[in-house]
Amino acid sequence: MASIIGTVVTAKVTDENDNAYFVQVDGQTLWVDKMEPEKPLHIGGLYEGFVYENEDHQLQLTRFVPEISFDHYVWGTVVRTRHDLGVFVDVGLPNKDLVVSLDELPTISRLWPKKDDRLLVKLARDNKERLWGTMADQAVFAEMAKSYDRAQVKNTDMMATVFRLKMAGTSVITDDGYLGFVHPSERNQEPRLGQHVKVRVIGHLRDGELNLSLKPRGYEEIGDDAHMLLAALEHQADHTLPFWDKSDPEDIRNYFGISKSQFKRAIGNLLKQRLISQQPGEIKLIEADADDGTDD
């Protein structure tokens, strides 16, 4: 007899108590939460719903049929982890979170998803009739991905979800449905599987994926004093100021309102980020490169 777990069935009402109705299908008795039906059920009547094993290990039938199935993926939200089992994911079932097995998760536990991270999963059933969540692979994401306009996404910030971790880098899908890849050189630390991250478009890969960075732009890493210097340079018609790291401390304080040591630190930061150039007697804003960063 084919398993009914994870499927939608029509069952006959056979009994009830204070908390539940009991229904049967193919000789199996299922539990229905008495608060769920819109109208009272009657013995001999029919009730349709989704079959699963709840957290009390009872077979339960719910009319709230989830979008997830054995051939349809949905985004599930991680609710907790158990390092001897895997991560528990909410896919919309009452009294039940699906487990994604540790066999599908990174070998390094700090890269496991955390609470509120999300995974794209579908149903799987083992030989003991237990439901699990199994994650989508690269092919599934490639099929669901959207194309993008290079001009519109150039150098833009996006939010994306991490779906694959490899030695070669991190694969993500953006909230707009674009596939992207982050090389290890473009991140300060490796993100978790399922983590929602802010990414920046830095180019385009030959397979159509976006080339992305998890690192902030140079000006986002600099301090307040450096920001102030950049603003001052941007307000000049020629983007140049008659100061450098050997300027008189009083002149610096009178113009910028900061000490010479603060000024030198800011200059050093901007030089390191290649946002300005310096020559005797002046600093100058470096204009942004007009190239679109395309790798192919």
Per-residue pLDDT for 112 more than 50? Answer: yes
Pick from 106, 107, 100, 91: nearest CA to 130: 100
Q: Which CATH code for domain 219-285? A: 1.10.10.10
Architecture in CATH for domain 8-62: Beta Barrel (2.40)
- Domain layout of the chain by residue ranges: 8-62, 74-136, 146-213, 219-285
Question: Band of the pLDDT at 219, cuts 50, 70, 90?
Answer: low
Fold of 146-213: OB fold (Dihydrolipoamide Acetyltransferase, E2P) (2.40.50)
Give φ, ψ of 208 to 5 degrees: 90, -5
Cα separation of 101 and 92, whole Å? 19
Q: Which CATH code for domain 74-136? A: 2.40.50.140
219-285: same fold as 8-62?
A: no
Per-residue pLDDT tens over the stretch 240-292: 999 999 999 999 999 989 999 999 999 988 888 788 999 999 999 986 433 33
Per-residue pLDDT for 158 more than 90? Answer: yes
Q: Is the CB of residue 155 less than 8 Å from the CB of residue 164?
A: no
Q: Is the CB of residue 69 less than 8 Å from the CB of residue 122?
A: yes
Mean model confidence pLDDT for the chain: 91
Least confident of 125-129, 139-143, 163-167: 125-129
What are the structure tokens assigned to 103, written together? Answer: 């066999």
| CB within 8 Å of 236: residues ≥ 6 apart | none
Output the pLDDT for position 2: 64
